[in-house]
Every structure is written in C-alpha cells, then in structure tokens.
Structure 1
C-alpha cells in the first residue's frame, strides 16, 4: 500500500470512531455527502455511478482477502514455531528429570540440607499465599479487603468497559473489541517488560500503563480477530502467581476466588507443573494435619542423621 493511499487514514479512522453504528453508518454518511455536495449521482449516465462503486469495492475486497490469507498463514506459522519450541523445552525438561538425582550425603551435607529445606519451607509458605485455589470455606475466610475486590470472570480475569482479560498461571490474554473493522497497519501495540500500550493509530491508546507484574517480551504477540478485535497474549515471568489486575490503574480482582481449572496441569511445563503439584499436595496435607513435603523431607534427613550417629544425644 502506497503512502499516497494511506495519507487520509488518520482522518478516516477518526471519523469512523464517531459512528457508533459502525461501517454501515459510515457508508451512509459518505454516500450522503456525495449526494449533497457533488454531482456523483447525476453527472453521468444512470448506470455509471453504480459500476464505479462496484468496481472499487471488488478491487479492495480482493486485496483485503489476500491480506487476510497472508496474515492467517503468518499467524499459523508463528503458532507452529511456538508449539515446537514448547515441545522441545518439555522434552529437555523430561530428559533432565529422568537423570539420576539420588546420592549418599555426608554428615556436613545432611546438616546443610536441613538448613536449606527449612529456608525453602518458609519461602514456599510465602508463595502459597499468591496461588489460591477455590476451597469450601473460602467465603468464611474472606476479609473486608477481599470483599471490596471484583469477582474474577470465567477466565480468571476481568471484564472491563473497553476490554476483557483472562489468565492461566503461564499467560494472560487480552481481547479489545472494536466497533469498526481495521487492518493490522491501523493497530499500535507495544510490549515492555513491565508496560503495555495498545490501540489504534492517531487515537488515544485503549490500554496504556504499568503491568501487574513482569512479562517475557520476546514471547508476547498479538493478532487481529476477524478485523473486529485485537487479541494480545502476554507470557508471565512468574508462573506461580495469579494477577490481581492487568494494569495498575484497573480495578483489582479477588484472586482467592480464582478457579484454576483452565490451567490444566498437562498444559504446564515440567518445572511449573511440579511446583503446582507440590503446593496442592502440601495444601491437602495441612488440611489433614499431616506434614508437608518440605517438613517430611526435614524429618527424613534428621532421622537418617540420627541413625548414622547413635552416639549423639537427641533427646533435646
């Protein structure tokens, strides 16, 4: 597309945004202008104006279909490469997990391991407050602060006036509906490690602010859904946390009400899946009054140490 053809895009987009009825209302305004201010309908034989309109319509429809086909092929290729990268990463993690990890500990290593496990147990306790699943007594434990927050939508995100967002432990998806059809060149999207900006050219951004947490910029992408919505995909860096809001200016959702069903364990990478399973196991153990996995490891290490040193007094 030449710059000559694009020189009125900003003006036309501004006009289009002032037509809540969409393209039909914009076309009505355009043809009304031709009737009131030009001799388009009367300055040529009767069939000429209609032929001119149909000819231009056919030309740009063909171009639009070709562009849509290219965009679809490009997006499918990007998704294919993303899936291949994910499968490769899962395979590498699986191979690493199958490597033998058990070794005999020295006395010094056992003592150091006990200290490390105690530290990890404290850190896991702090992290668990950020990843909350639904529980039967969730309403009973709800604080006054929680009651002031918004209940998450079905996708564990929030439906706002100009866009909606959903999330899993790994990703955040944002859908920005548009009241007019646009092309990719009309869209402006900018990802930063902790910032995001998205909207249309020559218009106030629809989203512009500081993100709730950091994202992997190189793994983020966007596409146009049927030219009527901008869809953004953001990959989280911290995959053990539910976001309370998309950008810091948004109202906050109650993450205690998040339903983790969309985040199927089978969809998680090996490391994240292991951490989630561990946290779920520890939660069940706590509910039954039993030791968590970290506590059990500490007990096992201490027991082994005691067996190796019967001459020591452990009564205290």
Structure 2
C-alpha cells in the first residue's frame, strides 16, 4: 500500500488496517527463532538454548555486517547479514542461566530504526515505533529535539513528504523571494 492510498482511507479503515498489520507483524516476529528489541542506538537479541548449555558449547560470532549464533555441531539458529552495520568492539554477548543467549549490538549509525535484524527476515513498520516516553523525557533538551526531528523526518520520508530540512529551505527561499521581488526566480532549482 502506498502512503497516498493510506492517507485516502477513513479513520476507521486506517484503524482496521493498522490493527491487521500489527497482528501480522506480531505473528511473523513470534515465529522467529529469537526475540529482539531496539533503541535508536542499539539492538538486543535473545535466543533460547537447551537448559544446561555452557558458553563453550556455543558459537556466537558478530561482525560489522553479519551474525551467527548456534550450538557447536548443529545448524546455526541465526545466520545471515545484518540489516545495518554494527560497532563490533562495542557489542557483547552473555549466556544467562545456562538457557538464554543475550546479544547486545551497538548500531554503527545510532540514529535510525532497524526494520529487522537479519536481512530477509520479516520486517516491522518503523514508522509506527513510539519510543518509551520515560526514555525520551530523560534526554536533555538538545538531544530530545534531535530525536524528535529524526522521528518526524522518518515519518515524512515514509509518507513521501519533504523532511524538516527541506521545509526550512523552502521557507527560507520563499522569504528571500519576497525580499527581492526584482529578481527572476523562474529558473531557480531547490536541491
């Protein structure tokens, strides 16, 4: 569905469409062999393994663009290209209670939401992400403003609309045109 088709729906149609999309998304995510969550700066992945598993029984490899997780001598539970790059030196993993691998991946570009962890796996709709208010309110004013601007720009991009920077440029250009009516702007291009 295009953003224009979505925008032309009634409020009831949008609510029904969003509910169906959330349900499908939840089912797809539940079918993955891992659970994951994210903030703007990191992704946490958890993988269940048989009770009594020791770290020496595991293979956990993460590189800038890939992730492999599994038990030695068995097919990998997770294996593939990461959807975005990570900072390898800032990423870690632990084995908790001998039954769950927890992998902390630091995003190389900590200013965007990931649609999925592994390329080709079911995606989530990042335009519907609402950061926890307590976390957003914990940020200082400048950082919070930057995050809110990024969220606005991401929604605008998803809807095929101009970013906040594009809007500011257009407003500045209009103001300049009004200040200089003697100039011909018919061939001016915004870029």
Root-mean-square deviation (Å): 4.2
1:203 maps to 2:74: yes
Deviation at 1:293, TM superposition (A): 5.7
Partner of 2:99: 228
Shift of 1:183: 2.3
- 2:167 equivalent among 291, 295, 300: 295
Query: Could you tell me which residue of structure 2 aligns to residue 176 of structure 1?
Result: 47
Alignment of 1:61-72 (within 5 A): none
Q: How does 1:179-190 map to 2 (within 5 A)?
A: 179-190=50-61
User: Equivalent of 1:164, from 35, 49, 58?
Assistant: 35
1:313 aligned to which of 179, 182, 189:
182
Q: 1:219 aligned to 2:93?
A: no
TM-score between the two structures when normalised by the length of structure 2: 0.65
Q: Which of 151, 155, 161 does residue 25 from structure 2 map onto?
A: 151
Deviations 1:194-221 (A, max 9, x none): 1001122232221111111111111111
Closer/same/farther in 2, CA of residues 152 and 184 from structure 1, 3 Å limit: same
Q: CA deviation at 1:265?
A: 2.6
Partner of 1:19: none
How many angstroms apart in 1 are the aligned matches of 2:86 and 2:24? Answer: 23
In the TM superposition, residue 295 of structure 1 has moved relative to its aligned partner by 2.6
Note if 1:276 corresponds to 2:147: yes
**264, 269, 273: which is aligned to 2:135?**
264
Decide which structure has greater helix share.
1
Number of residue pairs the alignment of both structures matches: 168
1:140 aligns with 2:11: no
Counterpart of 2:159 in structure 1 is none
Structure of larger gyration radius:
1
What's the TM-score once normalised by structure 1's chain length?
A: 0.42
Where do 5+ consecutive residues of structure 2 fail to align?
A: 4-9, 157-162, 186-191
* CA shift in 2, pair 1:191/1:292, >3 Å: closer
Of Structure 1 and Structure 2, the greater strand share is in 2
Segments of structure 1 that go 5 or more residues without pairing to the other structure are 1-128, 130-135, 285-290
Conserved 8 A contact 2:58-2:69: yes
In structure 1, C-alpha distance between the alignment counterparts of 2:25 and 2:134, rounded to whole Å: 18
Residue aligning to 2:188: none
